[in-house]
Amino acid sequence: MRTVLTMPRSPDQALPREGPTPGLDGLDDRALVARITEGDGAALEVLYGRYGRPCYSLARRILTDDQFAQDCVQEVFLTVWRDAGRYNASRGAFSSWLLSMTHHKAVDAVRREETVRKRRAAPDILDDQVDSGPAVDDAVWSVLRGERVREALKTLPDVQREALTLAYFGGYTQREIAGLTSTPLGTVKTRMLAGMHRMKAGLENVSRAATAEPGLADGATS
Amino acid sequence: MSADHARYQELVLGHALHALEPEDEAVLLKHLTACDACTRELAEHSDTLGHLAYGTPSFAPPPSLLAGIRAAVQDESPDAFRVPSAAVSDLSQRRAQKQRSRPSRAQVLVAAAASISIAGLLGLGAWNLTLQRDNVERGQQSEALRSAVSAIVDAPDRRDVGLPNAAGDVEAVAVMHDNTVNLVVDGLAPNNTVTSTYVLWGQANGGHEIALATFDVGPEVKALPPVALPVGLQPAPHLFAVTLENGRTAPADSNGRPVVQATVPS
């Protein structure tokens, strides 16, 4: 049971000015992207509702700074708004493309902003955490999914997990990781690839469960 | 598998992780233009890494983030958040016409709220009763109606609570009187009366939301007949909210996205 009318609502929590648009919520990601290319801002808001949370969480994890994370996610969604046509559905799910873009922009930002470059090593990614904000009820699926991902990560040998998480969450290049871990560059690359294949196998059940989520063709929710 | 392709596999993963040095990145990008297998592999890695993103601690973005995105989009495209459907475009035009000649919103809402209460008294009460704005504005009410309106308007325990949308525009008023509430709506977008319904919710402080009424909205002023407040919400709830729900009945729990809402001053 949810008690979701948690008030007062902040005035800046946006709703479409012309009122709700019944039906958009039922569209899959590709259809929403098509609406965005036609200039429908409400479609962008629906996509934000689905993926704003994981995008923000990822950016926050990489940048370790709320404001930088907000700037990053805003840039991501503005990129979607300006150039939604860049998304090529034949190359994968919209959510993958969006999160990949978020990751790339966050890593670019952390490399630019050395002062906030407090990159952390892998272990804390395995902690079970979720904030206690009002949207927690909406994040149940996200949390469950996160648990499965963390379980998959835990199955990796330490060195493989370290290499992958330093790159993905820390924003380090392969060469930097080699230096950080005093490991030959070739070994780092091999560990990454082996870890990725192992994790991919471990996540297959997550993919199946995600694509079974009702109403979300791309298999992700915020 | 050739040693050369194995090398590209490592580069593909490095690219997906955004972890390549610039010189390796350039080599791979050139290769990708001619290698479908590596392009597919890159998509697979991106998909897997998309899942990995969910492994990070989950944090709700602050409301200001969406507001910032909206503002930036509107800066570039002022019409971006206009509902594009023909039906609602028509509504916008009608609204624009009304704006040119309408009395103050408060006047109309109070009159309509009072009138709908009176309609109930006169046995005219029906769910989704539509008040004709012109009639209200021209004062074409019967004397009995006028008296009854006054009785409500002048009721010593009457309390009006404006329910604003996210932009701060009051689009509904809850008029409470004698443990009942009338909701008068002016500004909500018409709903699809086949697939959706608006729901008025009340919530006690710290309590669970309670569906008080379902209703539809058309292009004219709408007012609901009086709704008795449940005992737990008397004399006034802590909160009123309106949501637009899929289906034609009120769900047990709201969808959590109020269209308008307000806390009731204590």
CA–CA distances in Å: residue B230 to residues A74, A141, B203, B216: 43, 33, 10, 22
How far separated are the first and last CA of chain A, in Å rounded?
A: 19
Output the pLDDT for position A110. 87
3-class SS at B171?
Answer: strand
Residues of chain B with pLDDT under 70: 1-3, 82-155, 218-223
Residues 186-245 of B with CB under 8 A from A: 187-189, 191-192, 195-196, 201, 203, 207-209, 238-239, 241, 244
Cα separation of B21 and A189, whole Å?
12
Output the pLDDT for position B200. 92
B59/A40 CB distance under 8 A: no
Output the pLDDT for position B223. 64
Q: In what order do the strands lie in the sheet with B209-215?
A: B209-215, B196-203, B239-246, B260-263
Residues of chain A with pLDDT under 50: 1-20, 115-116, 121-123, 128-140, 208-222
Q: Specify the pTM.
A: 0.55
Output the pLDDT for position B155. 67
Please check whether residue A140 touches B, CB under 8 A. no
Output the pLDDT for position B256. 82
Output the pLDDT for position A192. 95
Residues 35-54 of B with CB under 8 A from A: 39, 43-54
Please check whether residue B143 touches A, CB under 8 A. no
